[in-house]
Amino acid sequence: MSGSVTPTSGTTASGGTSAISQVGTSALGSLSDNFSTFLNLLMTQLKNQDPTSPLDANQFTSELVQFSSVEQQINTNTDLAQLIQLTQASQVEQSSSMLGKPVTINSSQLSLQNGQAKVNFSTSASEPVTIAVYNASGVQVQSATVTSSVGPNTWTWNGQSASGATLPDGAYTVTATTASSTGTTTQVPFTITGTATAVTNNAGTVDLSMGSLSVPFSNVQSVGN
């Protein structure tokens, strides 16, 4: 078996934030254009109104209310965009402090780094758990059935295939399952631990990389020392 399983304790520090939505600059620009068009139309209407039949006061008041509403919406969206930029900058700064440290994430893939990867899972009873690893082509390259301890467990993969060949570092898909006495298979929830190597701002989403595996910052569960 190319791997080992050990009981584990809690991690030392927590990390991660909720994902945020980005306000598109094109949408804000479109709103501003509509605002300018509305203003031009209102001014044109005032300049060209019939002196014998001036603009109705109620209609004029209604248009001014619309005018104010559009202006407030533009200001709100501008402030929101600035707030999001500040939040993203804070996320980049926070995640940059994780570089070089062990980070535990939610992911269906593990990152084989320097011939090692860790899969964490918990069970309420001591039971056999089967962990399977697949390459980028979907081919199973390793499978191990381990007997878990009650509570947290960590399976460490040494990067070897089922035939004993040393596989290259990279991202591999992983599954963890347990089977009942009747043969019914149940998925076992798990997390992945690896070393943080890079932080990127990808189209407004802050991503954390562990080798060739990249996940949203919101997937981070904990950070070690």
Contact 141, 134 (CB under 8 A): yes
pLDDT at 114 over 70: yes
Q: Against a cut of 0.85, is the pTM above it? A: no
Backbone angles phi, psi at 128, to 5 degrees: -70, 130
Predicted local distance difference test score (pLDDT) of residue 205: 78
Contact 5, 155 (CB under 8 A): yes
Q: Could you read off the pLDDT of 39-75 as tens digits, one per residue?
A: 777 778 777 776 666 666 666 667 666 766 766 776 6
Q: Could you read off the pLDDT of 183-217 as tens digits, one per residue?
A: 889 999 999 999 999 988 777 778 889 999 999 98
Q: Across-strand partners of 6?
A: 154
Integer Cα distance of 178 and 157 in angstroms: 18
Two tokens, residue 77: 């969206």
Q: Could you read off the pLDDT of 128-156 as tens digits, one per residue?
A: 999 999 999 999 999 999 999 999 999 99
Predicted local distance difference test score (pLDDT) of residue 11: 35
Q: Could you read off the pLDDT of 93-111 as tens digits, one per residue?
A: 666 788 899 999 999 999 9
Q: Return the beta strands (E) in the chain as ranges.
A: 3-7, 13-14, 102-105, 109-112, 117-123, 128-134, 140-147, 151-157, 170-179, 185-187, 190-195, 198-202, 205-210, 213-216, 220-223
> Quick one: pLDDT band at residue 125, thresholds 50, 70, 90?
very high
Tell me the average pLDDT of the chain. 79
Predicted local distance difference test score (pLDDT) of residue 118: 97
What is the percent of the chain where pLDDT is above 70?
A: 65
